[in-house]
Amino acid sequence: MRKNRYATWAEEYAARLMEPADAARLVRNGDRVVMPIGSITPAIAQAIWDRREDLENVHVLSTAPFFDPGWYAPGHTAFHGRVELFNTIVARSSVNEGRSDFVSIPFSRRFKPEDERGDLSNHADVALIGISPPDRFGFCSYGLSMWNKASFVERARVKIGEIFPGYPVTGGANRVHVGEFDALVEGAAPPPLPMRDRAAIDPAMAAYVREFIRDGDTVQIGTGSMTGQLVGAGALDGLEELGVHSEITVPGLNQLVYDGAITGSQKTLHKGKFVATALFAGTPEEIEFIHENPLFEVYDVSYTNDIQTIARHDNMVAINNALTVDLYGQIACE
């Protein structure tokens, strides 16, 4: 007889709950261990690093790595780093000095070789995922961001969840049942994300952007040193009934939701919802505002960034950084 996962989830949770050192023993020699972008799992990562004398040829896959227990530092050969798409100061020297690889794989094509051709060269054996405590049905939230966490959970041989008390809960498809994990460990409060000091931009730049946006438009604003400041500099001032469909969101948008300028009322897809794969929240007050707020919905990056999803929006306005422009008019933005 099929088990009722809603009735038995507490038993599943108890059976999977263990110390980080015990969860780390699920990693084998030759495994590829992935920490998806936005997944903060310091306790599990540290426990795996502590096994460095027992392990061989373990590949650590990460995007925008946030935490390094030691595997990006020189001096130990048990681990080999691989950074996909976005690097950070955490692994920059390791990549520059050749100890770690850097590979640019667009989110939209990350799993295509594996799913369509059976190519397992980039397959993740072990996925480390940060999650909220389970709700009364046994579901955990991925927090403020989803990115491709669910895609890795679906495909990895071993899934290890690190549970953070107080982790924000968001709507959309941003949840996973405790029964999907092979091991669960209890984490402390997650470490704060590093905040970069940004030089102020000229308000004239925001005013220029403002000319292209109308009431009721759905906006996407890319993160970056310039675009990340546009909202605060007034690029959306005075506008009403705006919608948001974005990859990652930027400072200032949450305040416009609070003020009633962003409502999503005119959106042709996910009407009345603020949609992204990663939500920016720079203060505890912003996190509290987003937590369990039904207006905010978080989806897998393969959905939010899919050109077919984007094309279903009328009056879509995309605002992104341009790093370089060549003589053919081609723009590099990553």
Domains of the chain by start residue, with CATH: 5-186 (3.40.1080.10), 203-332 (3.30.750.70)
Going by the DSSP 8-state scheme, the letter that residue 178 receives in this structure is G
Q: What's residue 69's pLDDT?
A: 95
Rounded to 5°, the CA angle 168-174-180 comes to 105
Q: Is the pLDDT reported for residue 3 higher than 70? A: no
Ranges 187-201, 262-276, 284-298: which has the least confidence? 187-201
Pairing mode, if any, of strands 158-163 and 139-141? Answer: unpaired
Most confident range, picked from 96-110, 187-201, 253-267: 253-267
Q: Which residues neighbour 54 within 8 Å (Cβ) at sequence distance 6 or greater?
A: none
d(C-alpha 176, C-alpha 188), whole Å:
20
d(C-alpha 173, C-alpha 295), whole Å:
13
d(C-alpha 311, C-alpha 275), whole Å:
15
Q: Which residue has the higher pLDDT, 240 or 76?
A: 240
Q: Is the pLDDT reported for residue 81 higher than 70? A: yes
Ranges 6-15, 147-156, 287-296: which has the least confidence? 6-15
Residue 99 Rama label (left phi>0; alpha psi -120 to 50; beta): alpha
Q: What's residue 2's pLDDT?
A: 61
The structure's pTM equals 0.93
d(C-alpha 142, C-alpha 150), whole Å:
9
Say if residue 110 is exposed, middle or buried (CB neighbours under 10 Å; 0-12, 13-18, 19+). Answer: buried
pLDDT digits (tens, 9 = 90+) for 185-223: 999 776 666 666 666 888 999 999 999 999 999 999 998
d(C-alpha 43, C-alpha 184), whole Å:
11
Q: What's residue 198's pLDDT?
A: 66
Q: What's residue 329's pLDDT?
A: 92
Q: Which residues are 34's β-sheet partners?
A: 61, 127
Q: What's residue 75's pLDDT?
A: 86
Average pLDDT over residues 90-118: 91
Average pLDDT, the chain: 93
Average pLDDT over residues 252-281: 98
The residue type found at 307 is I
d(C-alpha 142, C-alpha 278), whole Å:
10
Segments in 142-283 forming alpha helices (H): 149-155, 203-210, 253-259
Residue 144 to residues 27, 66, 220: CA-CA distances in angstroms? 27, 15, 17
Q: Is the pLDDT reported for residue 71 higher than 60? A: yes
Q: Residue 54 CA to chain centroid, in angstroms?
A: 31
d(C-alpha 31, C-alpha 79), whole Å:
10
Q: What's residue 171's pLDDT?
A: 96
Q: What's residue 190's pLDDT?
A: 66
Q: What's residue 195's pLDDT?
A: 63
Q: Which residues neighbour 232 within 8 Å (Cβ) at sequence distance 6 or greater?
A: 251, 252
Average pLDDT over residues 262-269: 98
Q: What's residue 197's pLDDT?
A: 65
Q: Which residue has the higher pLDDT, 135 or 76?
A: 135
Q: What's residue 179's pLDDT?
A: 96
Q: What's residue 333's pLDDT?
A: 78
